[in-house]
Structure 1
Amino acid sequence: MRVGFFYDYDYTLTEEFQQNPIFKEYFSELQKKYGLKSPEDYWKLCSGKDKGAAWMGQFLKDSKTIFHGLTNKKMHDYFGKKIELSPGLPEWFERIEKHGKFFGIEIENHLISAGVLPLITGSPVAPFFKTITSGEFLDKGNGIYKIDSIVESFRKVEYLKKICKGGDLHRDLDIGDYHINYRNLIVFGDGQSDKDLFKYAKQRGGTVVAVYTKGEKKSFDKCVSSLGASDYAHSFVNTIKSRDYNENSSLEKKVIQILQTISESEKNCDMDWELVNNWKLNHIKNKKICEDIEEHFNSCKYCQQKTKLDFSFD
């Protein structure tokens, strides 16, 4: 059985924005032109638009006067390795793959980011992904000069659907013929830009994991307030754990539990999760259908498990 792990990049697998090493390298020039007080202040120049389009447009503009000689190769070879990864990476990937195999599961990793491709492919986590979807610049060998592609947050669902269908977004398939069944998704992210993706995956039976900065109560509270809720129906996520990929971390223990549930439910539960989800949302009006779903739900520990929220601070 195949299970798809879908990750965001910035503040999901990293402890900083992927562009930060570039902003630090050129900070004196940025400070001189814009009066920035810190490298992170660069994002104030990109506000008010979709993150992907905003930062790439501003970045391209500044490449002509500030980021001299910045090529895709330099981003890959030099800056990609400077991005601070989250604790436990990249060792997490091989270890969690072994846990998957224990449950008869083949884990397939995918990454969707509003950043830029060479910064991600230049990082130590890149070899563990089957696909990496991100923005791209064109360059002439002496510097970037044009935006080639942008990943906007509202299109992340489209990329997920395409991968789950095996590459053809518009092909009609029975769910059993999908490359990755929606029930077999585990989606990792950290914030507002992932909401559409979270909602889509969760409604179709996937499990959504939001992460926050370990040990920072403010980060945890923000994650809960923006993504969580007191009940399953109104929460964008199933679980919230600290961004710690080390062995025996609360995140690892939770993901192992999710893998076990997916493996067992594949053999023991054939209920269409969208029916259960719509029943939970009170979207089904037919009384008989509601009774049938309720009867199944009350006797199925796997469906019950999917509706239990697990938010913890550490």
Structure 2
Amino acid sequence: MSFRKQRIAFVYDFDGTLAPGNMQEYDFIPKLKLTSKTFWNEVKRRAKDQQADEILAYMYLMLRKAKENDMRVTRQDFKQYAKGIEMFPGVSGWFDRVDDYAKEKGLIPQHYIISSGIREMLLGTSIANKFTDVFASSFMYDQHGVAEAPGLAVNYTTKTQFLFRINKGVRDICDNKKINQYIEADQREVPFTNMIFIGDGATDVPCMRLVKAQGGHSIAVYKPKTSKELAEQLRSEGRVHYVAPADYSKGKHMDKIAHAIIDKVAAYWAAKKL
């Protein structure tokens, strides 16, 4: 195996994939003295009225409502708002288990998040140090470190660019030159065949489909003990390979799927050496 081909990348959505609900609903929205339903309804209304992107609309509304409530919002504040986020079962031990198994098979594991949520919040979660990189929406800040405007909005279609950044090893989002340069397939940092995308819903479909079409693996998860109708629909439509409850505990279905994919990827590159 060449060094590059040994890398295997697990790429995750966050909201509804690694944690139930939306990250803003744990601490941030309650501090605005709003219900989650009220906040998201206003986001949708404003986006529709202005024909605006819903991600930009919710980021704008976060800052506007914070100002109305005299809430100063800094990077550190966002991290603090993430402390109460609860993960799905097994998430805390998932990354080390996957890493250990992948290494046993001669692979170099990496983990990434691609999320429409807030990057600064994601960096404040209990699992932030498990990721090679976190690609998500983020704010611009003034000279005092206070958020003043959206800086990067990651929606369901722009998510796909980050798959190519992982593939090519171009993680600086301001690097628009190298990401568009032609790179031979065998020179790319993480081949798509070594990529696993895990998401939960319609906003993940472009990433699911792209990874699957490029020879990688896509998994649709659903909240344990709830309907898996949407996830099964994604499989029946050819968007994903696998469907599983979002339970990342040892021995559960997700664990078995991950092991099977790792085995497959390791065997593929071992056969290429023959």
- Normalised to the residue count of structure 2, the TM-score between the two structures is 0.87
Contact 2:10 2:197 in 1 (8 A): yes
Name the amino acid aligned to 2:186.
Answer: G
Runs of 4+ in 1 over 3 A off after TM superposition: 48-51, 139-143
Matched, 1:194 2:208: no
Mark the CA change 1:41 to 1:242 in structure 2 (over 3 Å): closer, same or farther.
farther
Q: Tell me how far 1:53 sits from its aligned partner.
A: 1.8
Provide the residue aligned with 1:17 in structure 2.
22
Q: Aligned partners of 2:9 and 2:118: how far apart in 1?
A: 22
Q: Aligned partners of 2:90 and 2:83: how far apart in 1?
A: 16
Matched, 1:169 2:155: no
User: Equivalent residues in 2 for 1:93-242 (5 A)?
Assistant: 93-140=95-142, 141=144, 143-167=146-170, 168-217=178-227, 220-225=228-233, 227-229=234-236, 234-242=237-245
Name the amino acid aligned to 1:224.
Answer: E
Matched, 1:70 2:78: no
Residues 234-273 of structure 1, C-alpha deviations (whole Å, 9 max, x = no match) = 4100001000111111110111011101111223369xxx
Q: Aligned partners of 1:44 and 1:203: how far apart in 2?
A: 35
List alignment gaps of at least 5 residues for structure 2.
Answer: 1-5, 171-177
2:249 to 246, 249, 267: 246
- The secondary structure found in structure 1 opposite 2:225 is coil
Q: Tell me how far 1:14 sits from its aligned partner.
A: 0.6
Contact 1:201 1:208 in 2 (8 A): yes
Mark the CA change 1:257 to 1:123 in structure 2 (over 3 Å): closer, same or farther.
same
Provide the residue aligned with 2:91 in structure 1.
89
Q: Tell me how far 1:143 sits from its aligned partner.
A: 4.2
Mark the CA change 1:67 to 1:143 in structure 2 (over 3 Å): closer, same or farther.
farther
Q: Tell me how far 1:63 sits from its aligned partner.
A: 2.3
Provide the residue aligned with 2:8 in structure 1.
3
Q: Aligned partners of 1:107 and 1:68: how far apart in 2?
A: 40
- Normalised to the residue count of structure 1, the TM-score between the two structures is 0.76
Q: Tell me how far 1:125 sits from its aligned partner.
A: 1.1
- The secondary structure found in structure 1 opposite 2:157 is helix
Is the deviation greater in 206-215 or in 129-138?
Answer: 129-138
Name the count of aligned residue pairs.
Answer: 253
Provide the residue aligned with 1:277 in structure 2.
none
Contact 2:75 2:145 in 1 (8 A): no
Q: Aligned partners of 1:17 and 1:40: how far apart in 2?
A: 11
